[in-house]
Structure 1
């Protein structure tokens, strides 16, 4: 009995242990399935699967004609996997010397022995570092093809250990053309590049595309792709930039900055009707590198006191409110006028005296403009400021590109407002405008009063297909009345014809615009240290404007020059001349020869018999062919020739003006005169007066030209 109980107890214990173990297993299974399943399934997936991000190709930024301004090109970093399955000792030792020699010749930075030492140590002495960087320099695709032909590397990834890590670099093929406007990319924490500046930043969502995902499964010790979400390439931007005009603008600006040792400058070319920016140049002096290059987008971001170019707004306010007309007069005196305790001065020594309002604008008289504004708005300054606000000069343009400078036109309730605020604001001080804001205002004058928003991009394309277009945007449909507009346009033309910008006149096309010379604050030194900003803004051809342009040059060497017409004006003219030469649409149309009718040549006076033969041979009609005379005077009338009598009387000096030398000699010598001939061509002058008396043998001199 005791033995039986002992056996039963032992069996029961074993059974209980087994049951307990079984329950534990069941409990663990339940726990894994219900509570820890997701965790362990994820763990298993990490071991057997992994996701690889497949970067999308960033879209290109192109000029208006499709030429690339910014694109992404692949570059590769070369590494070597010294634990590759097929890279046996035998294979490695047989080819390491040849590979070291090829690497030395290719990169040309280390000797063959140095590269051999790197390869040998990485294979046998640095087991913990599996993937070794061969050279820090990244290679392009064509260079990679050469590297893949090197010993070992030509065997592929598994046997040769070659690892090529691709990285896309943003390149601008035209180098510095519009660099700040095109923009650049910054690297984020995940090493992804993202647009931050210029069009790269403004259109980041369009350019970046959508990354794909490649799912790799570990099978038989190898990672194989089992699924993939394809990346979607970014869209391409087609900008309004014209590469040829951009090159012209940057070249003209650069040479003037160098000539006047200026600190920085900008130039913008805009299409009048659309507001499309055709060129935008920004160049500054790099103090560290001692060269001129694109440092900052001054055209968009730098709001400064514009100086005399702001007089356009002051004059428009006076005209629009009906306070003055162009032929009214203003007394500028000796060029110095006191407003309270401050003196206003004209740049012209001695002043202009009493002149018309139009002359005050054309000559850019500080005294004239400020006296007019002070006289009519002194007791109602809000009316003047409200008019400037109505011109939209206090509002940003709302550009897609980040970093637009803020315009500033203070109101009379501003704490800094004083009695001299109004006259000084009238000539462009105590106000702030960026070059692009100033240009947009002048462009509205050229565009018959319609203010256009500056446009940098005209289309977005995906793989060549247009998916969206950017229409023109009107900021203000009518900036002023038609009468004011016509008067202002005449005044802007007068600045170039008779005023401060006479040096910009040319015979091919008309320019309208305004010079500006402003003394600007020099940091903490303020206005005590004389620093200047020269500018010119206008449009061309003035009679049918197609382009507007602004040039601003900051801190020229004042010993070499600092006036707007002298420093900024030539840049404007260089740009406008070359744009005019390249734009055939601006040239006067030539009439069709058939529409003009037959062309009748200029004929010399002479023998009627000879002329009849010539005109008959040329099939040219004569109005009075039956006129009875030996000598005739010819004249063109519409498409025919008209004869007039030329009689030769005895003992009176014949009139031979307009004749050829042969006929003149025949007539004069036949009547008994001795002839001396000077020059070549037809007779333009004779020493004896036609119709006067003479004696046979008298001398006569005829001048030909």
Structure 2
């Protein structure tokens, strides 16, 4: 018993002594090296008697917010791009490296095609041989007994460790020159490693935004720029479009934290326990991808057809103010049209004859002029004001304004009272506002302003004003952002602000609407007549109105070098709303660098967009005219009779065709108000022509049935079929 007590006492005394020594040591460390263990020293390295303290600073960032369409489809996503380097010193397994060198060189050539595979082989082999020779020399020096030579060898080895070959620095503004995650995954699969180096390769990664749909509204959504640096990687700047406007909300949080090492052992710091950078907010735009695709394709086709310099098109929802589509296409040096400049929002132009709408409204608001007032027009003709507006007569509109406002000052006061000059606060970086005041107050300026010269207005402002007419005088802000979604799922809804609840009297709105319809039915906008109106315009039993009501515009472009207006090059435009009876959308088409008028080149684009939107919008299609849905039949160029029968039966149509196993087309309505169905006889030698207008599913089925392998490109209906031996290539287009 005594022995046990003695042993216990000895153990207790030993533990007490150890505790006293440990406590003394801790007190000593806190007193002498406490600041070092907390990282509280000015330099990055401190050497004490028995320890080396190092401090490194590292960045930790959240993820930048994304931009979505109105239906939550991703439009602008955050991705990583890489800068790729190769270090000869980090090639550990030489045999494996040489075995996979062909594959590695192929990847290098893929990310940087400017250097051939042969050149890469030479660069790598020479670098390996040179590194091996220098390494052997440095190792021999470290074995020397001479301290100076030995230190030289150590320094040379450290330098060799940091030598690298730069394979590719990704240019942030050129997506075809990025080193992507896919490239890096290929390299890692060739050379698996637990370190940061794979086959000697290492990457530095950067977060950037990429437009998912390439050209889709990219000039308005925004694209990145770079600030050049001769020493470091170019810094990324978001200064354009919606992304530039909301940069502070989209931006991720960036935090700097310290890492403390004592004799190369990481010391946890209390300040680093809760470092968790916040992600950026997501932006949900008003852009509808279906309407955007319709708008973009229609504009692109027209620009190609007339070889214009650039064009823009916008579709706005009348009551909500939401921009459903916005396309800005400019001709590049390669002759293709791409989104490079946001002409619709960030630039201003002389609107031309579309501004006559404002002149007409101002004249009617005076109470001294009516649409039936006879005015002197060009070539000494006399027409009613309504007819002068229909044919876009410059003198007629000026003389009407002169009758209402003898002085130019009074005219400017009148249009100012209608709020056109007010800032709409468009949610785009560097958005422009109208310049409505002419430089002088001469009579020639009065003449010019009444038909859209000597002033500058961004296209989106003209669209918003026509939208106010469609909205019964309520002038609202066009909006591009629907919601802002914060990182913790808090959502803020955005709504259009009301600029002016009533820009003019109800009677003026009613008269102006009638004039805008007349422009399309009897005036310069006849090429905007829809197919339904043209089919029934001679049917006096029904009051059929045009799908679109709007105004054409043409303005000669001012040549700054010549200091005069061009005699041939114009800006051509058309602005209208549809359906004219109960407007749901307003559309603007603006084409620059053409010799043709707005009625010829812009009005047909608006017509195409309107008809396609109406066909996809059941609410409009079922209520368009007094003839009911039969007058708005969605005709079919190519389909199987069984499928068509199910669809048309569901919609309430009658067909004059017995259901069998045929491929047919529906092209019009007969006198008995039945769908006129025609059989399409398919023959192998005529397939390219006969499949025009078919959907992809039917085209693939028929071609495969005829023994072809099928390649499908694009979206929409069949626009072209080409054959190469046993392969058929189908081009689709909306």
After TM superposition, the score normalised by the length of structure 2 is 0.67
C-alpha displacement at 1:155, in angstroms?
A: 5.3
Alignment deviations for residues 89-140 of structure 1 (CA, whole Å, 9 cap, x no partner): xx54443422433312433442445433334434553852515246216532
Partner of 2:208: 169
Cα 1:260–1:121 change in 2 (3 A) is same
Structure 1 unmatched runs, 5+:
1-28, 338-352, 592-705
Partner of 1:426: 450
C-alpha displacement at 1:78, in angstroms?
A: 3.5
Report whether the alignment pairs 1:496 with 2:516.
no
Report whether the alignment pairs 1:104 with 2:111.
no
Give 1 or 2 for the bigger CA radius of gyration.
1
* Cα distance in 2 for residues equivalent to 1:444 and 1:463: 36
C-alpha displacement at 1:372, in angstroms?
A: 1.6
Please say if residues 365 and 508 of structure 2, whose CA atoms lie closer than 8 Å, have aligned partners that are also in contact. Answer: yes
Cα 1:567–1:97 change in 2 (3 A) is same
The 3-state SS of whatever aligns with 1:322 is coil
* Cα distance in 2 for residues equivalent to 1:398 and 1:514: 25
Partner of 1:620: none
Match of 2:358 among 286, 292, 313: 313
C-alpha displacement at 1:374, in angstroms?
A: 2.1
* Cα distance in 2 for residues equivalent to 1:584 and 1:250: 22
Partner of 2:555: 518
Report whether the alignment pairs 1:142 with 2:182.
yes
Please say if residues 373 and 423 of structure 1, whose CA atoms lie closer than 8 Å, have aligned partners that are also in contact. Answer: no
Partner of 1:49: 55
Cα 1:149–1:273 change in 2 (3 A) is same
Match of 1:116 among 105, 125, 131: 125
Partner of 1:672: none
RMSD: 3.0
Cα 1:330–1:79 change in 2 (3 A) is closer
* Cα distance in 1 for residues equivalent to 2:598 and 2:495: 34
The 3-state SS of whatever aligns with 1:431 is coil
* Cα distance in 1 for residues equivalent to 2:522 and 2:457: 27
Report whether the alignment pairs 1:362 with 2:360.
no
Match of 1:410 among 437, 440, 446: 437
Cα 1:215–1:99 change in 2 (3 A) is farther
* Cα distance in 2 for residues equivalent to 1:142 and 1:468: 36
Match of 1:374 among 394, 397, 402: 402
The 3-state SS of whatever aligns with 1:323 is coil
Structure 2 unmatched runs, 5+:
1-30, 110-115, 136-156, 170-177, 534-545, 626-734
Cα 1:107–1:453 change in 2 (3 A) is same
Match of 1:262 among 295, 303, 308: 308
* Cα distance in 1 for residues equivalent to 2:60 and 2:521: 63
Partner of 2:19: none
Match of 1:555 among 577, 593, 599: 593
Alignment deviations for residues 285-323 of structure 1 (CA, whole Å, 9 cap, x no partner): 22x444322231111122121111111111111111101
* Cα distance in 2 for residues equivalent to 1:422 and 1:155: 77
Match of 1:477 among 485, 501, 513: 501
* Cα distance in 2 for residues equivalent to 1:120 and 1:464: 55
C-alpha displacement at 1:162, in angstroms?
A: 4.9
Please say if residues 75 and 211 of structure 2, whose CA atoms lie closer than 8 Å, have aligned partners that are also in contact. Answer: yes
Partner of 2:223: 184
* Cα distance in 2 for residues equivalent to 1:589 and 1:418: 50
Partner of 1:248: 294
Cα 1:49–1:389 change in 2 (3 A) is same
* Cα distance in 2 for residues equivalent to 1:305 and 1:134: 50
Partner of 2:67: 61
Please say if residues 408 and 433 of structure 1, whose CA atoms lie closer than 8 Å, have aligned partners that are also in contact. Answer: yes
Cα 1:280–1:511 change in 2 (3 A) is same
Cα 1:498–1:461 change in 2 (3 A) is same
1:149-164 alignment to 2 at 5 Å? 149-151=189-191, 153-154=192-193, 156-157=195-196, 162-164=201-203
After TM superposition, the score normalised by the length of structure 1 is 0.69
The 3-state SS of whatever aligns with 2:203 is strand
* Cα distance in 2 for residues equivalent to 1:438 and 1:184: 25
C-alpha displacement at 1:178, in angstroms?
A: 0.9
Please say if residues 122 and 132 of structure 1, whose CA atoms lie closer than 8 Å, have aligned partners that are also in contact. Answer: no
Partner of 2:254: 211
Cα 1:454–1:254 change in 2 (3 A) is same
Cα 1:198–1:324 change in 2 (3 A) is same
Partner of 2:422: 395
Please say if residues 524 and 552 of structure 2, whose CA atoms lie closer than 8 Å, have aligned partners that are also in contact. Answer: yes
C-alpha displacement at 1:40, in angstroms?
A: 4.8
The 3-state SS of whatever aligns with 2:261 is strand
Partner of 2:134: 125
Partner of 2:660: none
C-alpha displacement at 1:590, in angstroms?
A: 11
Please say if residues 460 and 469 of structure 1, whose CA atoms lie closer than 8 Å, have aligned partners that are also in contact. Answer: yes
Cα 1:124–1:577 change in 2 (3 A) is farther
Runs of 4+ in 1 over 6 A off after TM superposition: none
Cα 1:170–1:430 change in 2 (3 A) is same
* Cα distance in 1 for residues equivalent to 2:368 and 2:571: 31
The 3-state SS of whatever aligns with 1:73 is strand
* Cα distance in 2 for residues equivalent to 1:77 and 1:374: 66
Please say if residues 63 and 280 of structure 2, whose CA atoms lie closer than 8 Å, have aligned partners that are also in contact. Answer: yes
Please say if residues 505 and 511 of structure 1, whose CA atoms lie closer than 8 Å, have aligned partners that are also in contact. Answer: yes
C-alpha displacement at 1:431, in angstroms?
A: 1.7
Bigger CA drift: 71-80 or 185-194? 185-194
Alignment deviations for residues 493-552 of structure 1 (CA, whole Å, 9 cap, x no partner): 111112211222222662110011112212222335312111100100011111001111
* Cα distance in 2 for residues equivalent to 1:124 and 1:239: 60
* Cα distance in 2 for residues equivalent to 1:468 and 1:123: 62
Cα 1:215–1:490 change in 2 (3 A) is same
Please say if residues 519 and 527 of structure 1, whose CA atoms lie closer than 8 Å, have aligned partners that are also in contact. Answer: no
The 3-state SS of whatever aligns with 2:353 is helix
Report whether the alignment pairs 1:584 with 2:621.
no
* Cα distance in 2 for residues equivalent to 1:425 and 1:158: 68
C-alpha displacement at 1:567, in angstroms?
A: 1.0
* Cα distance in 2 for residues equivalent to 1:224 and 1:192: 32
Partner of 1:700: none
Cα 1:464–1:514 change in 2 (3 A) is farther
* Cα distance in 2 for residues equivalent to 1:147 and 1:364: 65
